[in-house]
Amino acid sequence: MPVDVKLFEDLDAVEADAAGALDRAAQPRLFDRIAWYRLVAEHCPPPGRLLVARAAKAWLFLAVARNRARPLSCWYSLRTGMIDHDLDREEKANSSESIARELKRAGLATLTLYPLGDDPTPLLASFRRAGWVVRAQAAGISWRVETKGQDFAAYWARRPSKLRNTAARKTKAAALEIAIHRHFDPAAWADYEAVYAASWKGEEGAPAFLGALAEEEGAAGTLRLGIAKKDGRPVAAQLWTVENGTAWIHKLAYAEDMKALSPGTILSMEMFRSALDGDRVARIDYGTGDDAYKRDWMEIRATLWRLDAWNPRRLSGLVGAARSAVSALVRRLRSR
């Protein structure tokens, strides 16, 4: 059954229309809140104009450039897609199909959604019913571990012996001072930035985004900012958020010249201990990326999906659909 759809080009209008439905109290996941999208829009918006579609209690936040739509997301967005957790299966299908139809009528030629953490099949079907040519493909990896009812001792006992032995040996030898901040502290954040500057990681495009996020989550009590120091110098840092039974690992780094001390491993052990024994989380999620070290800490290797949709009523959409079909055919022939 079709659902009325409203389109917005202003986040203030979205927030007024949502009337609290996109606030922290209503949305259990950080990446589904109006506050998150405000941070993205302020600090690291993707190219194009804002376009938000709402059908009943489902929202889709997009950036549109030259009739090509992508999520209103950035490097720090660990998940994206349709916001519809409060709906049942039929309501989700009706809402997403209605949004897909409205976006098609609005003249969009192509749309890409990534990273999607859930099975994309229902969303794929909704766009297909709305007349789009669609494709979903595995495009990334996320590692997580389910920890409901476990304390740190139970979790740690299942980790590879090499990791446990290394952590025990290095912890004793390194003699690091570790603090886990649950509220924003400017000095602790300066320590985080100092570690990042001394790490192997390159410069990021919007470091102010993380600082603003840490301030917001610190005020809410969900921030877990871990800092490890050696003789007063910060040598490892990790930014987590913990909320509604899930710990999200957003960023981590260590000083490259202190690698021999394994400060990242030592700090990780204490962060996991705090999440399990202090916060009693049911899940710890490493976000995105198939880095080898995550296998030692996690247990579930999950697929992140990309959905591509082409509007066959637009020339560029038709061309994109044709190219996708040819690419799929080539892949099938090569796999024989």
Residue 291 inside a domain? The answer is no
Query: Residue holding tokens 């993380």?
Result: 210
Residues 158 and 208 occupy one common structural domain: yes
Same domain, 130 and 104: yes
Query: Which pLDDT does position 201 carry in this prediction?
Result: 79
- Distance between CA atoms of 63 and 8, rounded to whole angstroms? 11
Q: Are 235 and 261 in contact (CB under 8 A)?
A: yes
Residues 6+ apart with CB under 8 A from 61: 37, 50, 52, 71, 72, 83
Total domains in the chain come to 2
pLDDT value at 319 more than 70:
no
CATH code: domain of residue 221: 3.40.630.30
pLDDT attached to residue 312: 93
What pLDDT is attached to residue 325? 60
Q: Work out the pLDDT band at 251, boundaries 50, 70, 90.
A: very high
Residues 243 and 214 in one domain: yes
Do residue 174 and residue 252 come from a single domain? yes
The tokens for 240 are: 């987590």
- DSSP single-letter state for residue 86: T
- State the CATH number of the domain containing residue 86: 3.40.630
136 in the same domain as 51: yes
pLDDT digits (tens, 9 = 90+) for 157-186: 999 999 999 999 999 999 999 999 999 999
pLDDT on residue 19: 97
Q: Stretch 125-150: mean pLDDT, rounded?
A: 97
Six token digits for residue 66: 């030259």
Is the pLDDT at 107 greater than 80? The verdict is yes
Q: Residue 314: its pLDDT value, please? A: 85
Cα–chain-centroid distance for residue 26? 18
Q: Identify whether 289 is part of a domain.
A: no
Does residue 295 form part of some domain?
no
- Do 133 and 46 fall into the same domain? yes
Residue 200, pLDDT score: 83
Mean pLDDT of 251-263: 96
User: 274 and 308 in one domain?
Assistant: no
In-domain check, residue 290 = no
Mean pLDDT of 314-320: 71
**Is 246 among the domain residues?**
yes
Query: Does residue 43 share a domain with residue 15?
Result: yes
Tell me, yes or no, whether 98 and 167 share the same domain. no
Are residues 152 and 110 both part of a single domain?
no
Bridge partners (DSSP) of residue 62 are 51, 71
In the predicted structure, residue 206 carries a pLDDT above the cut 70: yes
Banded pLDDT at 334 (limits 50, 70, 90)? low
Task: Calculate Rg over the CA atoms of the chain.
Answer: 22
Mean of pLDDT values over 85-104: 95
* 227 in the same domain as 258: yes
pLDDT digits (tens, 9 = 90+) for 20-31: 999 999 999 999
According to the model, what pLDDT value does residue 207 have? 85
Confidence of residue 208 (pLDDT cuts 50, 70, 90): very high
Structural domain containing residue 130:
5-143+302-335
Residues 17 and 132 in one domain: yes
The token pair that represents 146 in the structure block: 């389910």
Q: What is the pLDDT of residues 184-197, one digit of tens each?
A: 999 999 999 999 99
